[in-house]
Amino acid sequence: MALLKFLLCFLLFPLIFPSSIAGAAPMLPPVKAAYWPSWVLETFPPSAIDTALFTHVYFAFLMPDNRSFAFEFPDTTVAALSQFTTSLTRKNPSVKTLFSIGGGGSDSDLFARIASDTSSRQIFIDSSIKTARKFGFHGVDLDWEFPKDTTEMKYFADLIIQWRKTIDREAKTTSRPPLLLTAAVYYASEFLTYGERRSFPAEAISKSLDWINVMCFDYHGSWDTSATGAHAALFDPHTNLSSHYGLRSWISAGVPRNKMVMGIPLYGKSWTLKDPNVHGVGAPATAVGPGDNGILTYVQVQEFNKRTAATVVYDIRTVSAYSYVESSWVGYDSVQSTTTKVEFAQAIGLRGYFFWALSYDSADWEISTHASNAWVDDRL
Ligand SMILES: *[C@@H]1O[C@H](CO)[C@@H](O)[C@H](O)[C@H]1NC(C)=O
Ligand SMILES: *[C@@H]1O[C@H](CO)[C@@H](O)[C@H](O)[C@H]1NC(C)=O
């Protein structure tokens, strides 16, 4: 009997609670995710995605109907959804597919209306699960940008708690693996709007979501043309506009590191320099530069650098790259900055990284390939 107790306590204990022995979070397979913008369907169909480079691919985006709060799709969307899951899982049965609800330009007030009430939440949640099962997705993602005050942050919490309960119940009754539930969130866990401090519900997030996709980008852009900027700076000693600051805020809010996935942009931001001879990060500028309102995809940055024979610089201070020629200046993530960020994410114990957006990579998947290789396989 004593021997049995000994065995149970000292031999089986590590098997049951491996994390408490190691003093670390349980090892979970890394997340190497990317969003696929569904509006590139014609030029970049799901069949063009290299599924060896990603563990999770997100269909972006869907929105519920603004009156019924359920998902109702035109035939073209139905076709795109089936094409997405069928072609990805056929190519690589181990890749997981999710659809993302919302997006940067979506109706934030609609989310607030849905999330404010138990029964409207349930209609939305049930419809999301039905849609996922119908089209063979492995999960759903909420990209509500952003709950705008303390009340809406509470709605956000209520929504994900109820969603998780419903997902678990559905998995039980159908004997299927539960759907994944993730959310794309702001780079920091709290921010000020009109003097009000609003914080994401860290406890509800930790309990209800598989992980959050932390949007570690867009720190600078066309809204401020006075200076160039590293729009996805890992570090910035002078301001709170850095991924280091944002991730630290999430960690101190209490979200476990292994529930955080770090966003890396596959696009750059451009400015027009005030003085072509002053061209560092933070150099005086007068307007946006080349691209679509100062935005270039990685493949466009490559093309710009080649065509103009631009000078390319790696900025070790912010962990970013920039290139310039005459008064044109572009800040972006290169192979070097991306792999450094991936190594950083792994070193601090995050679950993985994700890209916005996979179709912006070069034709030979330069960034996605180097990122995938930079994550060290540390399985024992
Ligand atoms: C719902 O969406 C339609 C079409 O976009 C729009 O015309 C209408 O005003 C919206 N209704 C509400 C209540 O937001
Ligand atoms: C960053 O600092 C500015 C100025 O102090 C403040 O207005 C803003 O809310 C801060 N942002 C975050 C995410 O902490």
d(CA 56, CA 33) in angstroms, rounded, equals 5
Contacts of 170 (CB under 8 A, 6+ apart): 129, 176, 178, 179
Tell me what pLDDT residue 211 has.
Answer: 98
Tell me what pLDDT residue 26 has.
Answer: 60
72 is catalytic: no
Protein residue whose Cα sits closest to atom 2 of ligand 2:
240
* C-alpha separations of 257 from 163, 247, 345 in Å: 22, 9, 9
Helix (H, G, I), strand (E, B) or coil at 139: strand
Cβ(215) to ligand 2 under 6 A? no
Domains of the chain, earliest start first: 2-24+31-265+334-374 (3.20.20.80)
Contacts of 106 (CB under 8 A, 6+ apart): 61, 63, 143, 144, 145
d(CA 22, CA 72) in angstroms, rounded, equals 48
Q: Which of 345, 71, 68, 75 is nearest to 213 (CA)?
A: 345
Cβ(191) to ligand 2 under 6 A? yes
- 195 C-alpha to ligand 2 centroid (Å): 10
Q: Which of 250, 228, 224 is nearest to 345 (CA)?
A: 250
Q: Which of 232, 330, 231 is nearest to 279 (CA)?
A: 330
Tell me what pLDDT residue 370 has.
Answer: 98
Backbone angles phi, psi at 15, to 5 degrees: -75, -35
- 173 C-alpha to ligand 1 centroid (Å): 36
* Given the residues 42, 72, 145, 343, the one annotated as active site: 145
Q: How many CB atoms lie within 10 A of CB 71?
A: 20
Protein residue whose Cα sits closest to atom 1 of ligand 2:
240
Tell me what pLDDT residue 320 has.
Answer: 98
Pocket perturbation via mutation, ligand 2, pick of 217, 240, 244 by most ligand atoms within 8 A of CB: 240
pTM score, two decimals? 0.93
Cβ(44) to ligand 2 under 6 A? no
Q: How many CB atoms lie within 10 A of CB 310?
A: 18
Contacts of 113 (CB under 8 A, 6+ apart): 69, 120
Given the CA of residue 187, which atom of ligand 2 is nearest to it? 13
pLDDT truncated to tens, each residue of the chain (380 aa)? 343 343 333 333 333 333 433 445 567 999 999 999 999 999 999 999 999 999 999 999 999 999 999 999 999 999 999 999 999 999 999 999 999 999 999 999 999 999 999 999 999 999 999 999 999 999 999 999 999 999 999 999 999 999 999 999 999 999 999 999 999 999 999 988 778 899 999 999 999 999 999 999 999 999 999 999 999 999 999 999 999 999 999 999 999 999 999 999 999 999 999 999 999 999 999 999 999 999 999 999 999 999 999 999 999 999 999 999 999 999 999 999 999 999 999 999 999 999 999 999 999 999 999 999 999 987 76
Q: Which of 318, 327, 333, 344 is nearest to 367 (CA)?
A: 333
Helix axes 118-135, 108-115, angle to 10 degrees: 110
Maximum CA extent, the chain: 82
Cis peptide bond upstream of 156, omega within 30: no
